[in-house]
Chain A
């Protein structure tokens, strides 16, 4: 992951979308989510208003990307822009604080994926775009 961070610093890589991840004080990956300041409901990615209590008082929160696989699938026919990048594995992960995150699963054979398996977040190169690597948060087996 340090090589990716270095590429991000040098501008050789870009985040898949702005403000979707950050590095914690200990240097490990965090997901940039939202926390309602009224009811403390958390979500990822970020929202403008709380879907539970409708409050507009939303703060940023850095989520620890550790949890268990709630479900998974292997995309073998994707959107047009992903045509050359299939197959890829998608997982829905329940983070330890209850937030649900959908992303890619890497470093795991398809036949080894199990609902309930522990995973952790990591930065990975998703694809190349205009000569730069596009980087996003993915999961890998914990």
Chain B
């Protein structure tokens, strides 16, 4: 199979942009990624468009704005894991020899408030008011606290850490540090999760250019290898943690790495308990130890496995279709040493990105240089 490289990355800042359409956001990110790769637009063989609520053929609209007429356009919707899934699928096109260059654009404009429109309208879950993302994570949090003694302070530290990281990210939605007290004293959304432990809903876009490893690049040393990836869904007897763990193992196997190789993680911290669970699911620490893992400092910028140096979903924001692509943006700039004020002292050689979404979907990617 062909070697797949990430040759270019680009972003539009995350936030609220009432004067811009999703097409405007996506175009900025896509142009930045293609220019970063230094490739001609003629090279692009396919466009993958990741979004969840922008309507039919939104990717084709973006392709039109980019002047990409005539190439295949594939729209990808996989809940919060859409972006990672789109890159995973684009990589398979290159591995299969269908194209040499794929452009992946993740974008979203979201309404304010709790995410609506989950599941089938009129279903038991819908009518009973069960489809509330903070509540689903609230259930996970209470269980983890009960089973392992995880504390609300440990969960709140995830918000403190990621907001602190986001201060240094010019693309982040909230560039403001928060204290442990502010996190814990913000209003309760779904016990024990307070407002500052829930990611915002946002507008934003990110893009990456994937290429066949034999492609002649103007700056080949800036390319990062897309070493392996996987997408999974829940089994009849599993939960969100099981699917993330199983999907991570599949991605690690595809990339021939183990958890001990990971030097950077961008994971799905939509709610603080999520990041603690993902430490365990991704194999960064033993099951039940996630709360202590952040408390001991291992996942901070100067820790042994920095997690969400971008600010994560908590601070960078969470435009659903963008997130998985923005995670790869962060991994690549960190691996190149181009992350500016938030650059990790040790440029990571192996990075993992992870997204997880409604109805039990997970997607994991591994990057190496």
Where the two chains meet, the residues of A that have a C-beta atom closer than 8 Å to any C-beta of B are 16-17, 20, 41, 43, 45, 50-52, 70-82, 85, 88, 90, 92, 102-104, 110, 115, 126, 134, 136
Contacts and interface: CB of A to CB of B under 8 A. Distances in A.
A74 B129 contact: no
A65 B26 CA distance: 49
Interface stretch (B137-145, B203-211, B285-293, B322-330): B137-145
Contacts of A72: 139, 142
A22 to B, nearest CB: 14
Nearest to B124: A45
- Which 3 residue pairs of A and B lie closest in terms of their CB atoms, listed nearest first? A73-B138, A51-B236, A71-B143
B277 to A, nearest CB: 13
A17 B129 contact: no
Chain B: number of interface residues, binned into ranges: 20 to 34
Given A74-B191, A76-B188, A115 B236 contact: no
Which of B124, B130, B140 has the most chain A CB atoms inside 10 A of its CB?
B124
Nearest to B237: A52
A42 to B, nearest CB: 11
A79 B114 contact: yes
Nearest to B188: A76
B207 to A, nearest CB: 32
B130 to A, nearest CB: 5
A16 B142 contact: no
Interface in B169-204: 187-193
B345 interface: no
A45 B132 CA distance: 18
A16 B235 CA distance: 27
Given A51-B235, A71-B139, A76 B131 contact: no
A76 B190 contact: yes
Contacts of B138: 73-75, 90
A103 B128 contact: yes
B114 A78 contact: yes
Contact of B127 (A70, A110, A115, A136): A136
Contact of B135 (A75, A103, A115, A126): A75
Contact of A74 (B143, B188, B237): B188
Given A77-B134, A134-B127, 13 more contacts: A17-B122, A50-B236, A52-B236, A73-B192, A75-B132, A75-B138, A76-B187, A77-B190, A79-B116, A90-B135, A90-B138, A102-B139, A115-B142
A136 B130 CA distance: 13
B20 interface: no
Nearest to A101: B124
A104 to B, nearest CB: 7
Contacts of A45: 123-124
A104 B142 contact: no
B131 A79 contact: yes
B113 interface: yes
A104 B128 contact: yes
Nearest to A116: B146
Given A104-B128, A115-B146, A136-B128, A76 B122 contact: no
